[in-house]
Structure 1
Amino acid sequence: MSLADQIFVDMCNDIITNGISTEGEKVRPKWEDGTSAYTVKKFGVVNRYDLSKEFPAITLRRTAIKSCTNEMLWIWQKKSNNIHDLKSSVWDEWADETGSIGKAYGYQMGVKHKYKEGMMDQVDRVIYDLKNNPFSRRIMTNIYVHQDLSEMHLYPCAYSMTFNVTTRPGSDKLVLNAILNQRSQDVLAANNWNVCQYAVLMHMLAQVCDMEVGELVHVIADAHIYDRHIPLVQELITREQHPAPKFWLNPEIKDFYAFTEDDIRLDDYVTGPQIKNIPIAV
């Protein structure tokens, strides 16, 4: 069975059984009807996915792999902060009349900084170091920029990636590992979406840097299940689990900026039914 399913089920059981409720506290998010959106939460959740063994898409329900990849490329490749460059509607609630989400996400990835090698943005710096300084302990991105927070329509949730390269006995290729840091996560709506999109990112970066994929470590400071999501999660984690799907990435692409969501595919992806109309707190 899928290791991603086991990780997800264990995490959800832990949050529901041992988590702390925010009911009655002063919370920012509201439901569509204006009432406060309370959660049950756990602090400091850490999940590890070995991408060399399987692709971490849960099978309890289907994760829309092309849509989540399109969002990741919107941030990391297009470096856009405008929803008109994005195919899904996940950011519509936070966009202004021009489609902008402010100085958030892709905007920060596209800001160029001065290095001794020249001017580079964060993505190009990561690719440069993976190719030229793979054993550096300084290969990371960070989009939680305090001076720009007041001009972001939503503070970044997944805000930092730290890359670390290792070796594997018997292999000539280096191994790409990464830590995804997230300040906050709506577990039902976003957990596997984020895991899959950053797993895809690692596969893409490994391919263009002539590496193999290793571990993705997901660190969530506040992993929470909203009060109105608890019955949905309880039903979801009791579903039948299936083997992990097989991940395909177009082997012809050697330039990160040439990838599209059509260059990836999940084969033999058997899942339970989708959960429709999940209420989203804003």
Structure 2
Amino acid sequence: MINHPEKQYLDLIRNIVENGSPRTDRTKVGTRALFGVQCRFDLSGGELPILTTKKVLWEAALKELLWFLSGETNIRPLLQQDVHIWTEWPLKKYRQATGKDITRKEFEAQIVEDADFAAKWGDLGPVYGKQWRRWKSYDGTEIDQVTNAVNLIRNDPFSRRIIIEGWNVAELHLMALTPCHKSYQFFVEEGRDGCNRRLSLLMSQRSSDVCLGVPFNWVTSSILLHMMAQQCDMDVGDFVWQSADTHVYDNHHDAVATQLSRQPKARFPTLNIKRKPENILSYRFEDFEVVGYEHHPFIKADVAV
């Protein structure tokens, strides 16, 4: 397993735990962190970098990606699909504002059942979907960065400006959580030996929860790359991930130790996209199939809010 691409991840979390700088963070949980790391994955064979040393809920990651692409910022559509990864932030806000000691389950049920309650308490502010699809310009117009990126890949493929950006400084204070995976830059290279052009993606994170968040972020970014390549009639190239503050929370060390005790399975799974929709915004969950995902058991770890 020396050359298994997942070794990059295992070496990273081991390095953080052993050599990371102890830090007090926003959540008060505490972390150990490294600054400035990179991992690279060749996805030209249809691979998805889904970790095999633990079960990663790729279905939730895919549903979250489609939620981003829809421009939605309310958790209600996610909860209606049994995706609970964004609940903690509006729940915390509701408890603080009302003083009610409502359970997570009760809060989520009310979001799903009551549209007015969801509109008031389920919105996260102008988070990823808003910035990707409706970035507010200074003249009041809105910019669809996703559609613009597709158009650039098709019509100006060697541009150095094919970027989807989430870090809108003017609206950070309105967001329940500022963007962690903040910038997506695409790169087109000519095909070799008469093959199609290749599309690669570099995703940059300002803050990376390596135990919980990063496995999701890799799935989301890689599926997006596969989708963009399909839409632009290109082959898939590399997914490159770079991270600034790259950390393991102090309450994740047991989970990390369990994962480090395991050996990766033989290979990453592959992605099959069953149809080519008319545009990047028209994909549905059932359009995707992950083939050959073998994994070790799920490892539970608590999210820091």
Q: Indicate which of 224, 228, 252 corresponds to 1:205.
A: 228
Q: For structure 1, which segment, 238-247 or 176-185, has the greater mean C-alpha deviation from structure 2 after superposition? A: 238-247
Q: Distance in 2 between matches of 1:139 and 1:226?
A: 33
State whether structure 2 residue 70 is matched by structure 1 residue 72: no
Secondary structure in 2 aligned to 1:210?
Answer: coil
For residues 27-79 of structure 1, what are the alpha-carbon distances to aligned partners after superposition, in whole Å with 9 as ceiling and x for unaligned?
Answer: 310xxxxxx3011111001111111143211111121222101101111x201
Aligned-pair Cα RMSD in Å: 1.9
Q: Do the aligned residues in 1 keep the contact of 2:205 with 2:244 (CA within 8 Å)? A: yes
Find the counterpart in structure 2 of residue 32 from structure 1.
none
Which consecutive unaligned segments of at least 5 residues does structure 2 have? 94-119
Distance 1:228 1:120, change over 3 A: closer
Find the counterpart in structure 1 of residue 6 from structure 2.
5
Q: Indicate which of 232, 247, 256 corresponds to 1:233.
A: 256
Aligned 1:37-186 pairs, distance under 5 A? 37-53=29-45, 54-75=47-68, 77-86=69-78, 87=81, 88-95=83-90, 97-111=120-134, 120-186=143-209
Q: Do the aligned residues in 1 keep the contact of 2:134 with 2:142 (CA within 8 Å)? A: no
Q: Distance in 2 between matches of 1:146 and 1:187?
A: 25
Amino acid at match of 1:40: R
Q: Distance in 2 between matches of 1:10 and 1:181?
A: 19
Amino acid at match of 1:247: L
Secondary structure in 1 aligned to 2:212?
Answer: helix
Amino acid at match of 1:20: S
Q: Distance in 2 between matches of 1:239 and 1:112?
A: 43
Deviation at 1:120, TM superposition (A): 4.5
Count of aligned pairs: 268
Q: TM-score, normalised by structure 1?
A: 0.89
Q: Do the aligned residues in 1 keep the contact of 2:165 with 2:184 (CA within 8 Å)? A: yes
Q: Do the aligned residues in 1 keep the contact of 2:30 with 2:249 (CA within 8 Å)? A: yes
Secondary structure in 1 aligned to 2:222?
Answer: helix
Q: Distance in 2 between matches of 1:16 and 1:91?
A: 26
For residues 56-111 of structure 1, what are the alpha-carbon distances to aligned partners after superposition, in whole Å with 9 as ceiling and x for unaligned?
Answer: 11111121222101101111x20111111223111112236431101111111222
Secondary structure in 2 aligned to 1:235?
Answer: helix
Structure having the larger proportion of residues in helix:
2
Q: TM-score, normalised by structure 2?
A: 0.83
Secondary structure in 2 aligned to 1:42?
Answer: strand
State whether structure 2 residue 298 is matched by structure 1 residue 274: yes
Which consecutive unaligned segments of at least 5 residues does structure 1 have? 30-35
Q: Do the aligned residues in 2 keep the contact of 1:84 with 1:99 (CA within 8 Å)? A: yes
Q: Indicate which of 6, 26, 29 corresponds to 1:28.
A: 26
Q: Do the aligned residues in 1 keep the contact of 2:147 with 2:280 (CA within 8 Å)? A: no
Q: Distance in 2 between matches of 1:156 and 1:246?
A: 28
Amino acid at match of 1:28: R
Q: Do the aligned residues in 1 keep the contact of 2:200 with 2:238 (CA within 8 Å)? A: yes
Deviation at 1:230, TM superposition (A): 1.0
Find the counterpart in structure 1 of residue 283 from structure 2.
259
Deviation at 1:270, TM superposition (A): 1.0
Distance 1:249 1:3, change over 3 A: farther
Q: Distance in 1 between matches of 2:210 and 2:196?
A: 35
Q: Do the aligned residues in 1 keep the contact of 2:63 with 2:285 (CA within 8 Å)? A: yes
Amino acid at match of 2:247: H
Secondary structure in 1 aligned to 2:240?
Answer: strand
Q: Distance in 2 between matches of 1:268 and 1:248?
A: 11
State whether structure 2 residue 238 is matched by structure 1 residue 215: yes
Q: Indicate which of 229, 237, 245 corresponds to 2:269.
A: 245
Q: Do the aligned residues in 2 keep the contact of 1:69 with 1:197 (CA within 8 Å)? A: yes
Identity among equivalent positions (%) equals: 31
Deviation at 1:188, TM superposition (A): 0.7
